[in-house]
Structure 1
Amino acid sequence: MSYTISEIAEKLGLTASTLRFYDKEGLLPNIDRTASGIRVFSDIDLEWLSMVECLKATGMPIKDIKTFLDWCMEGDTTLRERCDMFHERKRVVETQINELQKTLDTINYKCWYYDAAVAAGTADVHKCMLQEEIPEEIRKLKERSISK
């Protein structure tokens, strides 16, 4: 199947200018064009662009994504480099997830804190609250958020 730049942009939640930028940066080496120069995208291009967006979401710079593309174009001689790159990306994403979990723990604790304060009409409610009155999950959240 073939797609216009607008259709691909909509499918991926990108702008047409982002797709043009990717093309300018050499990230879309196999894009077909009509006789008048209009880009025509295929299902394979859609898959590749999904991979580009995945790598970008990990914080990978465009130049490194371009290197990955070059390795793909080189074929099997670069399998080790590509494998190593994905293992590194995995480590980066796992670190991001851990940091986001700590952030979420803090936010969840603060949601409980302010829900209790709003219900009591004062933030002082926590000053006289016994440790046993604080739900166990909330105590754990507080401990995890403080141990950052």
Structure 2
Amino acid sequence: MTIAQVSQKYGVSADTLRYYERIGLIPPVHRSAGGIRDYDETDCGWVEFIKCMRAAGLPIEALIEYVALFQQGDDTLPARKALLLEQREQLAQRIADLQAVLDRLDRKIQVYDEKCVAMERLLRRP
């Protein structure tokens, strides 16, 4: 696939894809004989993985480290797992924090609902 096709498929600009490759966020993409990026299934898998992890809020630095470890081979499996576990823990904490905020908003909205119902009752009285 060309960079334009990958860009369209994953909703990531071509500039972002080139940037991700340049900083090591995705491994070097295969190139055609003419030097044009030719994304294969593996390359697309990396783009999809990085897009998913970024959407979850993982920092670029952690993902660069993960990719670098991956490229070093299976000896880094424990380190990669530890990195992912640490990121998972941080994400779970952010989710818990957001859930607490959501719960507070729900309680606040409930108070407004109760006040609206009380106000409507007062307005209905002759």
Asked if TM exceeds 0.5, the reply is: yes
The equivalent of 1:17 in structure 2 is 15
- Aligned pairs, how many? 120
Q: Is the 8 A contact 2:66 2:80 kept in 1?
A: yes
CA distance in 2, matches of 1:21, 1:79: 26
**TM-score, normalised on structure 1?**
0.69
Contact 1:5–1:40 (8 Å) recurs in 2: yes
Identity of aligned residues (%): 32
The structure richer in strand per residue is: 1
Q: Does 1 or 2 have the higher relative contact order (CA < 8 Å, sep 6+)?
A: 2
- Rounded Cα–Cα distance in structure 1 between residues aligned with 2:5 and 2:111: 46
1:59 and 1:49 mapped to 2: Cα distance?
Answer: 15
Deviations 1:2-46 (A, max 9, x none): x22232223323222211210221233331223443322111111
1:68 touches 1:82 (CA, 8 Å); kept in 2?
Answer: yes
Please state how far the C-alpha of 1:92 moved relative to its aligned partner. 0.8
Relative to structure 1, the CA distance from residue 112 to residue 88 in structure 2 (aligned partners, 3 Å threshold; closer, same or farther) is: same
Q: Which residue number corresponds to residue 138 of structure 1?
A: none
In 2 relative to 1, CA 118–11 (structure 1 residues): closer, same or farther, beyond 3 Å? farther
How well do the aligned residues superpose, as a CA RMSD in angstroms? 2.2
The verdict on how the C-alpha distance between 1:67 and 1:101 changes in structure 2, with shifts beyond 3 A counting, is same
Give the C-alpha shift of residue 112 in structure 1: 2.0
Q: Give, in angstroms, the shift of residue 85 of structure 1.
A: 0.8
**Hey, what does 1:50 align to over in structure 2?**
48
SS of corresponding position for 1:14: coil
Q: Quote the offset at 1:104 in angstroms.
A: 0.9
For 2:27, the equivalent position in structure 1 comes to 29
Which position in structure 2 is the counterpart of 1:110? Answer: 108
Deviation at 1:101, TM superposition (A): 0.5
Q: 1:94 aligns with which of 83, 92, 95?
A: 92
1:84 Cα deviation (Å)? 0.6
Distance 2:14 2:116 in 1: 46
TM-score (norm 2): 0.79
Q: Structure 1 residues 19 and 99 mapped into 2: Cα distance closer, same or farther (>3 Å)?
A: same
Q: Does the 8 Å CA contact 1:58/1:89 hold for their aligned counterparts? A: no
In the alignment, which residue of structure 1 is the partner of 2:57?
A: 59
Q: Distance in 2 between matches of 1:97 and 1:16?
A: 31
Gaps spanning 5+ residues in structure 1: where? 123-148
